[in-house]
Amino acid sequence: MAKIRKFKHVKLLMAVLIIYVAVLNMPNLLKLLYPIEHKEIIIKYGQKHKIDPLLLAALIKTESNFEPRAESRKGAKGLMQITPATGEWIAKTIGINDFYEDMLFDPETNIMLGSWYIEHLTDYYKGSFELVFAAYNGGRGNVDKWLKDKNLSSDGMTLDTIPFSETRNYLEKLKKNYSIYKRIY
């Protein structure tokens, strides 16, 4: 009986020790789950386009989980999941004349284009986080239409409701990821 009691105490002590070590290493464990790959590129274009690099990292985590060759079922490509049409429009707007679709798989090009687009949306929507990222996910045309709909926007400047569940869920996931990135970095 004494051996059984002693064994239970050892198991309890081991469990406490494992929990203690896990808590001490929590930031390192979280960094494995929430990495910042391509950090120099993220910082470079975050600074250039006045975007918190941790927000860019959270966006990339949300969009592609840092997979440069990610491709959505709607054809969005790369780290920041830019559609070829949007990529081509951004490229023309910023003076890249030799744009081709596979450039979206290049991390630097993708982050450069995506960061420019976020700055563009931020200027367009006067800094509203919700509108910027609802437009990034659901399309600027849709957000503009929602803002004109009294059932979705009582003041024409903020959204009371987002009719696309995908966009609603995306905003929540992005906010959660951004909060985690700010906490661990």
Task: Give pLDDT tens digits for 32-63.
Answer: 999 999 999 999 999 999 999 999 999 999 99
DSSP 102: G
| Other Cβ atoms closer than 10 A to 91 | 20
Alpha helices, H only, the chain = 2-24, 26-33, 39-48, 53-64, 84-94, 107-124, 129-138, 140-148, 165-184
pLDDT tens digits, the chain, 185 residues: what are they?
555 555 566 677 676 656 655 555 567 888 999 999 999 999 999 999 999 999 999 999 999 999 999 999 999 999 999 999 999 999 999 999 999 999 999 999 999 999 999 999 999 999 999 999 999 999 999 999 999 999 999 999 999 999 999 999 999 999 999 999 999 99
Rounded distance, CA 78 to CA 180, Å?
22
What pLDDT is attached to residue 29? 83
The residue behind tokens 């009371």 is 160
* Marked catalytic residue, from 37, 63, 108, 166: 63
**Angle between the N-to-C axes of helices 53-64 and 39-48, in degrees from 0 to 180, rounded to the nearest 10:** 120
* pTM of the predicted structure, to 2 decimals: 0.85
What pLDDT is attached to residue 56? 98
What pLDDT is attached to residue 111? 98
Active site residue 63: yes
